[in-house]
Amino acid sequence: MSLVRRPLRIGWALRMALAGLAFLQGPAMGCSCVWPAQNEYKQNLDRHFEQASEVMVASVQSTRLTPGDISGYVNGDMFVEDAIFVVTEVFKGSRKVGSELSIRSAIGGGQCGVSAVNRPVWLEVSRRRKTDERLDAKLPGAWLIFGDGKPPYEFSMCGPSKPINQVGKELARLRSRRQQ
């Protein structure tokens, strides 16, 4: 009979040890929004345009990555990317072509921000099947930017700003709207 009880005790002890380890883990952090699906983005383009104080296309000139979050709290998984853009087209707002624009995005550690140059990587093209090697997306360096409020604006999975190679039809719509 003792042989029957012993495995049960070990099983119980193992379960208790694993349950105890769950309390030792750090907090789980994750962004609570999802990058909008392409069809949803198209449907909401007019709403995004109306809500924004500025809408423009701009090209990234420089980026600087700093450890921590916007408030200065430092954690190995969090970064702040400060990016300088030069405006190339204006659809809404008083900003002039050729002017500089600052973007400040909180990246990683549960923050929803994304990098203007995909470093750290937030956008993948695919993975190679045999090696599971990640193939990072190459961003074109230009973004369609919807700014609301006071700059610096932020690139976020939750917001409407996107790399220019992901907004072909939407950009054409904005250009035709401007010509009317």
73 or 79, higher pLDDT? 79
The domain spans of the chain are 38-179
What's the pLDDT score for residue 94? 94
CA-nearest of 39, 28, 29, 48 to 158 is 48
Domain 38-179, what architecture?
A: Beta Barrel (2.40)
Query: Mind listing the pLDDT tens digit for each residue in 49-77?
Result: 999 999 999 999 999 988 876 666 666 67
Residue with tokens 């040890």: 17
Largest CA distance in the chain: 88
